[in-house]
Amino acid sequence: MKIKFRTRDFKEKKQRGEKIAMLTAYDANMARLLDRAGVDAILVGDSVGMVVLGFETTVPVTLEAMIHHTAAVSRGTERALIVADMPFMTYETTTAEAVRNAGRLMQEGGAEAVKVEGGSAVLEAVKRLVDVGIPVMGHLGLLPQSVHRVGGFLRQATTPHDADILLADALALEEAGVFAIVLEAIPSDVARTVTAAVSIATIGIGAGPECDGQVLVLHDVLGLTPNLYKFAKAYADLRSEVIAALQAYATDVRTSAFPDDAHSFH
């Protein structure tokens, strides 16, 4: 029997010095493969907006879209913990709205935890979510939902002052009750300091090797993305394979090589 990965396993793995492997997924089929591969946790990221839906940023992603994709992922998953991103403006306005929206991700989407971006600005929402029984993952460093304020997808915490703010935010998020924090696009030494300072797990993406775990976008790992960020790594070249397979199919159709006898009813 597969043993379900739980939020408490994040901290227990950190304490045992075991790394946590997390990836994004957006549909049931891929979620099934991630589960089969033994990935610990699946993030239904709002990166779905850029990776699957063709948006330039994650800002246009709606709660309905997140519920739709989270429900698909949960139908394909048995073991991995499912964390759903709360999209832009679904947790920043009032704590009541944050609770209502996170509740929908859990009840309608099957999420087992939610992720919110930011530090001091989201502490009240985090505390309330945790109080009412919703596990929350934090997210510091590069915050894709703030791309328009920042002016791009830029590295963060690159000055001692900003690194101090990030550390203070991490400690405040831990105090507010998050079970783990994603650290995105920050220098490795800042991630090391934060990881040593908090007792909860840090999950890095572009934050160096000393976080307690790593998360990447699935399409990057599979080699389906044309231009990778420096911190992403492709473990396959599916883009070339997919194009070759589709070209072979089109050629077969045009030359009447497909369907052949084996693929026809008699």
Residues that bind ligand KIV (CB under 6 A): 24, 43, 45-47, 85, 182, 184, 205, 215, 217
Helices (H), the chain: 7-16, 28-36, 48-51, 63-76, 95-107, 123-131, 147-150, 160-176, 188-197, 218-221, 238-254
The residue count of the chain comes to: 266
Task: Kindly report the number of other CB atoms within 10 A of residue 175's CB atom.
Answer: 12
What φ, ψ does residue 85 adopt, rounded to 5°?
A: -70, 135
Q: How far is the CB of 79 from ligand KIV (least distance, A)?
A: 20
Q: Which is nearer to ligand KIV, 85 or 174 (CB)?
A: 85
CB 246 → ligand KIV: shortest distance, Å? Answer: 26
Residue listed under structure tokens 């909860």: 200
Quote the least distance from Cβ 228 to ligand KIV, whole Å.
13
CB nearer to ligand KIV: pick between 82 and 215? 215
Give the nearest distance from C-beta 38 to ligand KIV in angstroms: 20
Mutual orientation of helices 160-176 and 123-131 as an angle, nearest 10°?
20
Nearest to ligand KIV of 85, 112 (CB atom) = 85
CB of 117 to ligand KIV, least distance (A): 8
Residue closer to ligand KIV by CB (options 200, 266) is 200
Given the residues 92, 124, 184, 210, select the one marked as catalytic: 184
Instruction: Name the region of 185 (left: φ>0; alpha: ψ -120 to 50; beta: rest).
Output: left
* Known active-site residue 97: no
State the residue number with the nearest CB to ligand KIV.
Answer: 45
What is the distance between the alpha carbons of residues 204 and 20, in angstroms, rounded to a whole number?
A: 10
User: Residue 231 half-sphere exposure, CB side, CA atoms within 13 Å?
Assistant: 20
Catalytic residue numbers read 184
